[in-house]
Amino acid sequence: MDKHKFKNFQHRRRKRRVRKNVTGEADRPRLTVFRSLRHIYAQLVDDDNGVTLMSVSTLNKEVADQCQKGTANVEAAVLVGRELARKAMAVGIRQVCLDRNGYKYHGRVKAMAEAARKAGLLF
């Protein structure tokens, strides 16, 4: 197995390990994070009904306009976390459970989660 296939295999294994313990419900949805090389995405998912309640990413106009140095850095992740928390609070969602999606709780993932927590979400 070459290096890239092995890395992808390990990531999928970590993702499955996290997802078997983390589920979202209507009153406490799952906050899932995806990061690509250019952007960061966050969603609130209700797993009971199989519905995405809301999503925010660096592709959204409100967030992209505020990004000064690009969309793939910690600063952009903080903006995504704040915007997601603001939208969730407006709808009445206060508690979420974090699904880091197989990524380390470090860097952009940590910055997004801490910003959402600081903006008022509980997890």
pLDDT in tens, the chain (123 residues): 799 999 999 999 999 988 888 888 888 999 999 999 999 999 999 998 999 999 999 999 989 999 888 899 999 999 999 999 999 999 999 999 999 998 999 999 999 999 999 999 998
Query: Is residue 20 one of the residues assigned to a domain?
Result: yes
Position 30 scores a pLDDT of 94
Query: Is residue 113 one of the residues assigned to a domain?
Result: yes
Range of the domain at 98: 3-118
SS (H, E, C) 85-122: HHHHHHHCCCECEEECCCCCCCCHHHHHHHHHHHCCCE
Query: Is residue 29 one of the residues assigned to a domain?
Result: yes
Query: Model-level pTM greater than 0.85?
Result: yes
The total number of residues shown for the chain amounts to 123
**Whether the Cβ atoms of residue 101 and residue 34 lie closer than 8 Å to each other:** yes
Query: Is residue 57 one of the residues assigned to a domain?
Result: yes
Q: What CATH number does the domain containing 56 carry? A: 3.30.420.100
Residue among 3, 2, 56, 54 at smallest CA distance from 24: 54
Packing angle between helix 108-118 and helix 74-91, nearest 10 degrees? 40
Query: Is residue 66 one of the residues assigned to a domain?
Result: yes
Query: Is residue 19 one of the residues assigned to a domain?
Result: yes
Token look-up 């290096």 returns 3
Q: How far apart are CA 31 and CA 123, in angstroms?
A: 9
Query: Is residue 54 one of the residues assigned to a domain?
Result: yes
Split into its structural domains, the chain has a count of 1
Token look-up 């997601």 returns 84
Query: Is residue 123 one of the residues assigned to a domain?
Result: no
**Whether the Cβ atoms of residue 42 and residue 79 lie closer than 8 Å to each other:** no
